[in-house]
Amino acid sequence: MLEHGGRLRLAAQQFGIPLADWLDLSTGINPHTYPVPPIDPLCWQRLPEDNDGLEAAAAAYYGNDRLLVLPGSQAAIQTLPFLFKTAAVTCVSPVYEEHPHAWEKAGHKLRRLPSLQRALSAMTPYVQLCSPNNPTATPYQRASLLDAAAQLHKRGGWLIVDEAFADAEPENTVVSLAGSEAAPNLIVLRSLGKFFGLAGARVGFVFGDAEKLGRLREILGPWPVANPCRLVARAALEDFGWQAAMRTRLRADSQRLAVMLAPLGKVSRTDLFCTVSGTAEPLAVEAVFDHFARRAILTRRFDQHGLIRFGLPGSEPEWERLAQAVQAWSSAC
């Protein structure tokens, strides 16, 4: 089992600080969770049905009805590699580690390369990446991803794009073309966990080729997502007013966070998290992580890549706590 952010109980135990005292910035999940509507008690008694409006809401929100509802996009990450003939896959790295882990587990030969251009030059039949990237915050332009899909299609290859953090900038996504005539070999994963702050609901989607989606549905079996979670997901996807206001808020918060973290090193950002790396010399990741953890602020460290990731604080007291911790680091240095 790979390590992930959000392991707050473990941090509380390791540092001897009560759980309630912690500020968790380790996940990149929107701290301003979509306001869950009241749930009809009958919703808990009935089995989920596909015609409850969720698929239609998702098709309208993402601009693509070639979709499958998932119990979190993790279900597709773990399963999709088994649907492809065993070959070589290039993961544009650093990357969300569940992807290469799943491809290797399915028996594929794994290559890790630092750019999409290098990945295409490697001539592997499968290329996987995150857009924007997790954990580096590297953005990918829509045109470059579609061009990559076209190049791979010419040689019978596939492009798998994880857009878990893409909701804040929908104009730069490729989800609407996944499985289309223009990009039949493009598969896109989406999640309600990050932008909507609904990670606990475990609702995600995969878009793309009908044959692949059909096989995946057979593997997942009936009722993969609980009725109450489907209801909440539909409400969130249909609330365009909340979405627009949240995009504006997250962009401002992300810019504020990037400025605040500048004393730590070089900052790259998405609208949901900022990642700090070294400048003239590698970032002292362990020391930075420890500094904030001793102040009950949990971050996400990537030791192998010299990176540390910060999610967004959710209130002014939390922003002040983080600012004080950054100031303490600067003063000590």
Given a cut of 70, is residue 3 above it in pLDDT?
no
| Whether residue 65 has pLDDT greater than 70 | yes
Q: Which amino acid is at 286?
A: E
Alpha-carbon span 6 to 35, nearest angstrom: 21
Residue 7: predicted pLDDT: 84
pLDDT more than 90, % of the chain: 93
pLDDT category at 1 given cuts 50, 70, 90 is: low
Average pLDDT over all residues of the chain: 95
Distance CA 27, CA 298 (A): 9
Question: Which pair of structure tokens corresponds to residue 291?
Answer: 């500094």
pLDDT mean over 228-254: 98
* Residue type at position 162: D
Instruction: Write down the pLDDT at residue 230.
Output: 97
Q: pLDDT band at 281, cuts 50/70/90?
A: confident
Q: Does pTM surpass 0.85? A: yes
Q: How far is CA 41 from the centre of its chain?
A: 31
* Strands ordered across the beta sheet of 186-191: 67-70, 204-207, 186-191, 158-162, 126-130, 88-92, 109-113
In angstroms, the first-to-last Cα distance of the chain is 36
Domain boundaries, the chain: 8-33+248-332, 41-238
Does residue 299 surpass a pLDDT of 70?
yes
State the pLDDT at residue 332. 82
Structure confidence at residue 92 (pLDDT):
97
Give 307-322 pLDDT, tens digit per residue. Answer: 999 999 999 999 999 9
Nearest to 90 by CA among 63, 51, 117: 117
Could you tell me the CATH superfamily of domain 8-33+248-332?
Aspartate Aminotransferase, domain 1 (3.90.1150.10)
Question: What's the one-letter identity of residue 231?
Answer: L
Q: Is the pLDDT of residue 207 over 70?
A: yes
Instruction: Give residue-wise pLDDT tens across range 101-154.
Output: 999 999 999 999 999 999 999 999 999 999 999 999 999 999 999 999 999 999
Q: What is the pLDDT of residue 333?
A: 75
Q: What is the pLDDT of residue 282?
A: 83
pLDDT band at residue 283 under the 50/70/90 scheme: confident
3-state secondary structure 222-251: CCCCCHHHHHHHHHHHHCHHHHHHHHHHHH
pLDDT of residue 279: 79
Convert the pLDDT of each residue in 17-44 to its tens digit: 999 999 999 999 999 999 999 999 999 9
pLDDT band, residue 175 (cuts 50/70/90): very high
Fold of 41-238: Aspartate Aminotransferase; domain 2 (3.40.640)
Q: What share of the chain is helix, strand, coil (3-state, %, to 5)?
A: 45, 15, 40
d(CA 309, CA 68): 30
What percentage of the chain carries pLDDT values higher than 70? 98
Section 94-99 average pLDDT: 95
Looking at residue 182, its pLDDT comes to 96
Q: Is the pLDDT of residue 5 over 70?
A: no
The 3-state DSSP class for residue 45 equals: coil
pLDDT score for 323: 98
